[in-house]
A and B are shown apart, each in its own frame.
Chain A
């Protein structure tokens, strides 16, 4: 009986080993929030250059982080890729990332765009800008994010829901810059100035401006690129009716956010994963992000996309982006208190 049992155990064990170790060729497993063509192109290029295959699971960052937590030591993930610094910070806090130290990456990524402890690194940059109706607003009427809360904009602002991470990160940066009391007052002021209750994504805010429902909107540069290059003429018309303004140029700079990556704590292919991040931060890959996906490169001045160049250079807020994560839940709570839907 015991002999049989042992035999059975042996069989089971070898079967499990087979399942677990079956793939032998080099590969890395990627958990990603990004679903862009630029990434697909870059993944293929990387595989071609190195022979390392990339397996992808897409999902929202928090769901992926949750998944990594519950998978624990058995997590197949090697890399986590998200579109917001706050999420990367949260992944670090949750203990699903590990610190790395690569000279190449440290050279490729400006220090404010990576975790001080080396748990995550920025890959691309987006700026949260003010978009205004060319025919109704003069750019010298605009100045700062703080100004949006003043009464002169009553009924004129289109901005999306506070459930959105880009707004939460903007709020986090305002808390950091002005303190939470003033940030709350700001949120209440902007809420009172809204042309309509928030709905839709960033592009829909631009559409509201183009339609005349609002005069200005707060949006991410990346979405303007999508509108400008849309297959639908209607979208391109929307884009042509508006202009871009970079706020806070005379003080701390325009709020930016990154899309970035970190190595999973229990990664079984760490060195290949580091290679992959080195590749994504290389000059070549940085150019692809800009051209295919309208994102700024890590060194904003290196930007080669014609569309982005057209808006001119700007001064970015140099605050270390980990602050967006540290202040995130406070930001959400202040939004709730301001009754910003």
Chain B
């Protein structure tokens, strides 16, 4: 973006829509900018960090991100394809079962699996006795990476599954029929037609997975992998060097920014305009007996690892700690979590809609540009956003009397919006790109008022996307931990903070009770989301 363009846009193209959108985008970005500025600040321990641990953090982060991204894409796309386009026994079950792992926060999943890693002990001891210590240690490290990637992917792949499946369903079978009639077999159709067409959706899902991976602190801490995020905490908490931690965070964001720009470039090279999806019932590919068995087995694996095993173990723990249920005021926890998540989800979706629409409808490059800043929050660990907000409120406190800034519910909600803006933005952006582009081009050239176009055309067209977006934000808010931990007001606890409090006082068994509540509450909208998607798209 060149200065000349910015100036031109500001002078000639800004209207009240884009102006407000740019302003909101910048406000959402404010806590992050507090962190970004730290790139240019000096930190005492920075030379030390650069010399000793920086490269370790970078390599581990990249390994985890690539591993989790690949595995999640593999699982997500495979499941999306067979569910959307094939017919086999138990398909109806897997259709919603495969989404359920999304209900489990990564830290809860890591807890559930932590001592399962102990199962590898006999193997490790055997290797030490029969080969040598070094072989055991290498094998141990391999297990740790392997399990971490597995644990992360098994609860994150649904992001890709959901978006890719919606895309496959939307493509309709006209393309498949066309492909078949041209003599391609189903494999070729998948690789040459369906997958390239679904690429924007897969990329959108993948970027969510990558951001979640970069954000994770609980799982990497438990498995002892030093990543950027755990390095941020270590520098902040361990060395008491907030500016060093913020500098690490700033570099992490730089990395994300580069990734996002690459993704944008990759997507803009190929633009996909489709007529609104085929409403004809979808004719499925019927799988043979042998293929059905293979498909069922493959679909069972992510469901088993991502949902059934953790939930089974948590339930077992909840059962043996029934007396704990009485001592935790579970009802008020549920109430607080619900209130917070609903408020955040509604506000975030409304704001995201406004920002995406303003950018697209008026083809405002400047708004697109500030939007890109507003979504950075999702790639920033929750605790870092909280740090940004603390810095911000310290600055504002210097000018005004502090009434509501730190430790109020409002500031917590604002922090959540900064954190989860991308979750709503991504699907709304790709939804509007796919569904509203042509119509908006037309209505603009006809001089129809923007508000009319937004309410009468865009919203109905992407209603499902909006619902999906709000559910995704709701789910993330229910699961969110570090932000709430730092910024929660007095005597305000949520299910996630209760889970954390209990497990950090070594009551992992008792923490299963609020953890299960999160899973159950999140599972309901997940299933309804699935039903909605089905009735509309099939």
Contact = CB atoms under 8 A, between A and B. Distances in A.
B397 A196 contact: no
Contacts of A213: 121, 124-125
Contacts of B488: 57, 59
B413 interface: no
Contacts of A196: 124, 136-137, 140
Interface in A54-108: 55-60, 62-63, 66-67, 69-72, 74, 76, 90
Interface stretch (A126-134, A143-151, A173-181, A328-336): A328-336
A63 B484 CA distance: 11
A336 B121 contact: no
B237 A62 contact: yes
Nearest to B49: A336
A328 B234 contact: no
Nearest to B144: A199
A57 B490 contact: yes
A200 B509 contact: no
A35 B403 contact: no
A10 B313 CA distance: 59
A197 B224 contact: yes
A329 B505 contact: no
Interface in B379-432: 383, 386-387, 390-391, 393-394, 397, 401-403, 406-407
B509 A16 contact: no
A70 B141 contact: no
Interface string A1-44: 00000000000000010011000000001000001110000000
B2 interface: no
B241 A329 contact: yes
Contacts of A162: 238
Contacts of B497: 58
B216 to A, nearest CB: 15
A162 B52 CA distance: 14
Given A72-B394, A72-B402, A35 B222 contact: no
A55 B222 contact: no
Contact of B383 (A63, A161, A207, A223): A63
A254 B251 CA distance: 41
Contacts of A67: 390, 406-407, 486
A74 to B, nearest CB: 4
Contact of A336 (B53, B124, B402): B53
A71 B491 contact: no
Contacts of A52: none
A19 B224 contact: no
B215 interface: no
A19 B118 contact: no
Given A70-B397, A199-B144, A232-B509, A16 B403 contact: yes
Contacts of B224: 161, 197-200, 341
B55 to A, nearest CB: 12
A172 to B, nearest CB: 12
A155 B133 contact: yes
Contacts of A58: 485, 497, 501
A197 B383 contact: no
Contact of B485 (A59, A232, A328): A59
A336 B397 contact: no
Contacts of B469: none
A66 B383 contact: no
B144 A211 contact: no
Nearest to A168: B238
A87 to B, nearest CB: 9
B505 A35 contact: yes
Interface centre among B230, B407, B502 (most CB of A within 10 A): B407
A291 interface: no
Q: Which of B125, B486, B502, B504 has the most CB of A within 10 A?
A: B486
B17 interface: no
B108 to A, nearest CB: 16
B236 interface: yes
B506 A163 contact: no
Nearest to B133: A155
A226 interface: yes
B125 A212 contact: yes
Nearest to B114: A200
A55 B394 CA distance: 23
B45 interface: yes
Contacts of A57: 407, 488-491
A66 B401 CA distance: 18
B141 A197 contact: yes
A333 B144 CA distance: 25
A8 to B, nearest CB: 16
Given A60-B485, A155-B128, A163-B233, A70 B501 contact: no
Contacts of A163: 221, 226, 230, 233-234, 237-238
Contacts of B236: 62
Contacts of B128: 155
Nearest to A293: B505
Contacts of A63: 383, 386, 485-486
B303 interface: no
Interface residues of B, number: 61
Contacts of B386: 63
A66 B390 contact: yes
A317 B140 CA distance: 36
A154 to B, nearest CB: 7
Contact of A76 (B223, B383, B490): B490
B324 to A, nearest CB: 9
Given A168-B238, A211-B121, A231-B321, A223 B506 contact: yes
A114 interface: no
Given A67-B406, A197-B140, A329 B45 contact: yes
Nearest to B397: A72
A243 B505 CA distance: 23
A77 to B, nearest CB: 10
Interface in A145-199: 154-155, 161-163, 165, 168, 195-199
A333 B48 contact: yes
Contacts of B277: none
B486 A69 contact: no
B486 A70 contact: no
A337 interface: yes
Contacts of A207: 115, 118
Among A19, A199, A328, chain B packs the most CB atoms within 10 A around the CB of A199
B242 interface: yes
Contacts of A265: none
A255 interface: no
A60 B140 CA distance: 30
Contacts of A211: 118, 121, 125
Contacts of A72: 394, 397, 402
Contacts of B407: 57, 67, 71, 76
B52 A70 contact: no
Contacts of A37: 505
Contacts of A60: 237, 485
Contacts of B502: 35
30 contacts: A16-B403, A20-B403, A35-B502, A55-B491, A56-B490, A58-B485, A59-B485, A60-B237, A62-B240, A63-B486, A66-B387, A66-B486, A70-B406, A71-B407, A163-B237, A196-B137, A197-B224, A199-B144, A200-B114, A200-B224, A207-B115, A213-B121, A213-B124, A223-B506, A328-B239, A328-B240, A332-B239, A333-B52, A333-B239, A336-B48
Question: Which 8 interchain pairs have the tightest Cβ spacing?
Answer: A199-B224, A70-B394, A336-B52, A74-B402, A155-B133, A70-B390, A211-B121, A226-B506
Interface of A: 16, 19-20, 29, 35-37, 55-60, 62-63, 66-67, 69-72, 74, 76, 90, 154-155, 161-163, 165, 168, 195-201, 203-204, 207-208, 211-213, 223, 226, 230-232, 328-329, 332-333, 336-337, 339, 341
